[in-house]
Amino acid sequence: MAFDKDRFLDVLASRGDWVDARFIADTFGVTTRTVRNYVKKLNDEGADEIVESSYRGYRLRQDVVREKTRAESAQPEDRADVILRRLISTSQPISIYDLADELCVSDSTIETDLRRVRDSVRLFDLTLARYRDTVSLEGTELSKRKLMSQMLSSESSTGFSAFTGSGMALEGFDVARLSRMVSSLLADHGLTSDDFGLNNVVLHLVIMVQRMRQGMSMPDDGTYDKTWGTPASEAASEICSRLSERFDIDAPTSEVGYLALVIASNSRSEDYSFTSAANLSSLIEEDDVALTQNAVTALEHAYYLDPFDSEFVMRMAVHVHSLLQRMEDGIGSHNPMLGKIKQSYPLIYDMAVFFSRCISEARGIALSEDEISFIAFHIGAYLEKADPEGDFVTATFLYMDYHGMYRLSLDRIREEFRTSLSIVGVASVADYDPAAIETDLVLSPIEIDAPARSQVIVLSPIIKDSDLKRIRHAIETQRAKRRGLEAFSLISRFLDPKLYRRIGEYRNKEGLIRDLADECREMGLVGEHFADEVLAREALSSTAFNNQVAIPHSMTASANRSFLSVAVCERGMPWDAQTVNLVMLLGISENDRKAFRILFDGLIEVLSEPANVNRLVKCVSYAEFVELLNELIMGRS
C-alpha cells in the first residue's frame, strides 16, 4: 500500500494524543515495522521532527505541524483559491504573468491552476473569461456573492480570516460585535434567529460591505421590492444605517432589499416560539403545514418510527416554511457542521435525506446538502429525547432488609432509570431462587450466584452516585449487546455467499451499483428499476463515509427479499470525492422495514472505525468475512 501522508497525519491529529502503533498498523493494514518506516519518512522530510515516538506510540508535534502547514501554502488547491480571491475582488482583468510572479510559479503552472478555477466557478453560474494574456470573472453580482459565501464559510485554509485578512480585519472589523448588533436589532423588530441563521446574516453583511467598498453593488432592478414594509426590511434598513456610519458606505435600496431577503430567510417571528398546532396555520401557509405533515408521516412509515408528536411537526413546519422561502429567494444557508453530521450520525442523516426528497418531489425543487443537514438537526434532536420503545433493560433487585430501608435505594434507582430500566423482580437475598432469575441485570448488596445470562452488580447499602454510574454503564452494555445480536442475526439472514465478492478496479460508483443490482435481479431479489432507485438516493447525497465504506440503498422498501451484497476492493475505487474499499449494497423488503435501522446502525458502529474496515477488507473468503464481522459487532475482537 502506497504511503498516504495526509491520511497518516489525519489519523494522528484526530486522536490528539499518543496513538498506539498497533492501532495505526490496523488502520492502514500494515505491520508496526512499516509504521516506523512511515514515521521515519515523515521526519526525514525536513529539518524538524514532525512525529514524536515513545513506548506509548506516536503523536504529532503541533508547533511543527502548524509551521509546515504555513510552508505548504503554495499547493495547487491553495494557488487556485488565491487566484479566485484576486479575480472576485476586482472588476478589471488580471494579467496571468502578474499572477505567476505573485505566486512564484511558471506561466504554464498558472494555466493549469486556471483550469481548476474555471471548473470551480462553473458551479456558481460564473465563467472565466480570457482575452489574450488576461483573465476576468464574468457573471452576475448575486452569483459572485454566492461564491464568496461558499469560500468564506469553507472549512479549508482559505476561510473567513484569510479572505478578509487584507480588508476589513485590518480596520478592526469585529464579527462578534456585529453578531450582537444584528441579534439585538432583529429582536427590536420582533424577529429571532438561531446561531446558524445569525451566522448566515453576518456572513452576508461581511460580503456586502466588502463588495460595496470595491464599488460593486446589487443591481437596482426591482427584484427585492416585495420585502418593503416587512419587519425584515425595517431591520435591514437599520442595520445598513449602522454599517454606513461604521464603514463610510451608503447602501442603495437594492442592498437593503437583498439584505431583507437574507434576514427573512434566516429568521422567524418571535411569535413562532408560542406557536401551537391550533394557530400554526395562521402564521404560515396551510400548504407548508400539510407538506410537512405528509413528509413526517412518510418518514415514520419508511423507518418504522413511532409517530412524532405535534410539537415536532409544528417546529419542522416552521423550518420547512423558512427553507422554502430561502429556495424561492435564491438564498443559500451554509452549515459548517455538515461533514461531522454525515460522519457521526449517518442514520439520522439518511432520514433527513428521505424527508428532503418528500419536500423536493412535492415542490419540484432540489435541496442542498446543507439544507438536508439542518433537517437532520431537527430529527436527531427529537429522537435523542424520545424513549426507545422496547429497549428497556430488565433487572432483579435483591436486598438485605433493615427496617425497610432498601425501599429508599429501590425508589432512587427506579426514578433515575425510569426510561431505560425495568425492575421486574424484588426479593430478599435470603429468599431468592437463582434458577428463577431471567433478567438482564441482578442488583444485589452482596456477591451471589446468578445465571450466566445475567450481569450481577453489587451495590452499596445506601446508593451512591458511583453505584448509579455502574448501573448506567451496565444498561448501555446490555443494550449494545442486544443491538449486536439483532444486527448480526439480520446480517446472517441477508448475506448470501453468492453476494460476496472481491473485485478489481471500477471507474465509478454507477457501474458497480448497476452490476451488483443486475446480479441481485437475476437472483430474483429486486425488480428492474432497483439500480435507478439506488442511484437516485446517491444523487441526493453520497452514501460513502469514513473515506473507506459506502452503503448504497434505495429510499423505499422495494426489494422482493432483503439482502446485503458485499463488494471488496482492496486497491480502492472512486466514490464521488472519496475512495472506498468496501461497498455494501443494501436492499430491504416491505416485511423488513424495521430491520433497516437495526442493521444500518449495527454496520455503522463497526465500519466507522478504519482499523475494522482494513481487517474486513483483508478477509479472503465469505466465511472469514462473516466470522470477523460477527466478532466486531459483538465486541469480541
pLDDT in tens, 552-587: 999 888 899 999 999 999 888 889 878 899 999 999
**Of 270, 287, 313, the domain-final residue:** 270
In a domain, 234, yes or no: yes
Q: What is the mean pLDDT of residues 269-292?
A: 64
In a domain, 542, yes or no: yes
Query: Do 29 and 617 touch, CB atoms closer than 8 A?
Result: yes
Tens digit of pLDDT for each residue in 347-371?
888 889 999 999 998 998 888 888 8
Q: What range defines the domain where residue 103 resides?
A: 76-164
CATH number of the structural domain spanning residue 43: 1.10.10.10
DSSP 571: E
Q: Which residues of 176-196 are buried (b: 16+ CB within 10 A; e: fewer)?
A: eebbebbbebbeebebbbeeb
Query: Do 48 and 9 touch, CB atoms closer than 8 A?
Result: no
Q: Are residues 356 and 294 in the same domain?
A: yes
Beta-bridge partner residues of 43: none
> Strand 455-458 to strand 549-550: parallel, antiparallel, or no bridges (unpaired)?
unpaired
In a domain, 406, yes or no: yes
Strands across the sheet containing 134-138: 94-95, 134-138, 127-131
What is the predicted pLDDT for the residue at 69? 45
Query: Nine-digit cell at 330?
Result: 435564491
Residue 73 has pLDDT above 60, yes or no: no
Q: Are residues 379 and 405 in the same domain?
A: no
Q: Indicate the length of the chain as a whole number.
A: 637
Query: Do 447 and 401 touch, CB atoms closer than 8 A?
Result: no
Specify the residue for cell string 436492499. Answer: 587
| Burial classification of residue 320, based on how many CB atoms lie within 10 Å of its CB (0-12 exposed, 13-18 middle, 19 or more buried) | buried
Q: How many CA atoms lie within 13 A of 456 on its CB side?
A: 14
Number of other residues whose CB lies within 10 A of the CB of residue 607: 22
| Burial classification of residue 117, based on how many CB atoms lie within 10 Å of its CB (0-12 exposed, 13-18 middle, 19 or more buried) | buried
What is the predicted pLDDT for the residue at 562? 92
Residue 279 has pLDDT above 60, yes or no: no
Q: Residue 580: in which H helix or E strand, if any?
A: strand 578-587
Higher-confidence residue of 333 and 570: namely 570
Tell me the C-alpha distance between 266 and 317, whole Å.
15
In the predicted model, what is the mean pLDDT of the chain?
Answer: 81
> What percent of the chain shows pLDDT beyond 70?
86
Residue 48 has pLDDT above 70, yes or no: no
Query: Do 281 and 297 touch, CB atoms closer than 8 A?
Result: no
DSSP string computed for 162-200: HHHTTTGGGGT--HHHHHHHHHHHHHHTTEE--HHHHHH
Q: Are residues 374 and 407 in the same domain?
A: no
What is the predicted pLDDT for the residue at 384? 72
Beta-bridge partner residues of 587: 563
Q: Residue 442: in which H helix or E strand, if any?
A: strand 441-444
DSSP 440: S
What is the predicted pLDDT for the residue at 395? 92
Tell me the C-alpha distance between 83 and 105, whole Å.
12
Q: Are residues 466 and 342 in the same domain?
A: no
In a domain, 600, yes or no: yes
Q: Are residues 234 and 311 in the same domain?
A: no
What is the predicted pLDDT for the residue at 14? 64
3 state DSSP class of 488 = helix
**Of 71, 94, 124, the domain-final residue:** 71
DSSP 308: P
Most confident of 117-121, 281-285, 320-324, 352-356: 352-356
Q: Are residues 592 and 623 in the same domain?
A: yes
**Of 103, 130, 164, the domain-final residue:** 164
Q: Which of 428, 543, 539, 561 is nearest to 490 (CA)?
A: 561
Tens digit of pLDDT for each residue in 225-261?
666 778 888 899 999 888 888 888 888 888 888 888 8
Q: Which of 368, 257, 382, 283 is nearest to 323 (CA)?
A: 368
DSSP string computed for 79-97: HHHHHHHHHHT-SS-EEHH
Query: Nine-digit cell at 103?
Result: 505566486
In a domain, 169, yes or no: no
Residue 281 has pLDDT above 60, yes or no: no
| Burial classification of residue 329, based on how many CB atoms lie within 10 Å of its CB (0-12 exposed, 13-18 middle, 19 or more buried) | middle
Specify the residue for cell string 417571528. Answer: 269
Q: Which of 160, 249, 252, 250 is nearest to 200 (CA)?
A: 160
Residue 158 has pLDDT above 50, yes or no: no
Q: Are residues 500 and 525 in the same domain?
A: yes
Q: Are residues 318 and 373 in the same domain?
A: yes
In a domain, 59, yes or no: yes
Q: Which of 298, 179, 196, 295 is nearest to 242 (CA)?
A: 179
Tens digit of pLDDT for each residue in 389-421?
457 899 999 998 777 788 889 999 999 998 889
Q: Are residues 584 and 529 in the same domain?
A: yes
Tens digit of pLDDT for each residue in 523-537?
999 999 999 999 998
Number of other residues whose CB lies within 10 A of the CB of residue 300: 13
In a domain, 465, yes or no: yes
Beta-bridge partner residues of 192: 268
Q: What is the mean pLDDT of residues 174-186?
A: 83
What is the predicted pLDDT for the residue at 261? 80
Residues 6+ positions from 599 with CB-CB distance below 8 Å: 487, 490, 491, 494, 564, 586
Q: Residue 605: in which H helix or E strand, if any?
A: helix 593-607
CATH number of the structural domain spanning residue 628: 3.40.930.10
Output the CA–CA distances (angstroms, integers) from residue 427 to 406, 461, 463, 602, in the order listed.
Answer: 11, 15, 17, 36
Q: Are residues 524 and 546 in the same domain?
A: yes
Beta-bridge partner residues of 143: none
DSSP 223: T
| Burial classification of residue 327, based on how many CB atoms lie within 10 Å of its CB (0-12 exposed, 13-18 middle, 19 or more buried) | buried
For 45-154, where are the alpha helices, taking DSSP H only? 62-71, 76-88, 96-103, 107-122, 141-152
Q: Are residues 263 and 283 in the same domain?
A: no
Query: Do 217 and 259 touch, CB atoms closer than 8 A?
Result: no
Residues 6+ positions from 178 with CB-CB distance below 8 Å: 202, 205, 206
Q: Which of 121, 141, 122, 118 is nearest to 130 (CA)?
A: 118
**Hey, what amino acid is at 303?**
Y
What is the predicted pLDDT for the residue at 176? 76
| Burial classification of residue 115, based on how many CB atoms lie within 10 Å of its CB (0-12 exposed, 13-18 middle, 19 or more buried) | exposed
Q: What is the mean pLDDT of residues 36-50?
A: 78
Specify the residue for cell string 445475567. Answer: 454
Query: Do 295 and 359 touch, CB atoms closer than 8 A?
Result: yes
Tell me the C-alpha distance between 11 and 527, whole Å.
41
CATH number of the structural domain spanning residue 461: 3.40.50.2300
How many structural domains compose the chain?
A: 6
Q: How many CA atoms lie within 13 A of 629 on its CB side?
A: 24
What is the predicted pLDDT for the residue at 172? 42
Q: Are residues 260 and 131 in the same domain?
A: no
CATH number of the structural domain spanning residue 295: 1.10.1790.10
Query: Do 139 and 126 touch, CB atoms closer than 8 A?
Result: yes
In a domain, 151, yes or no: yes
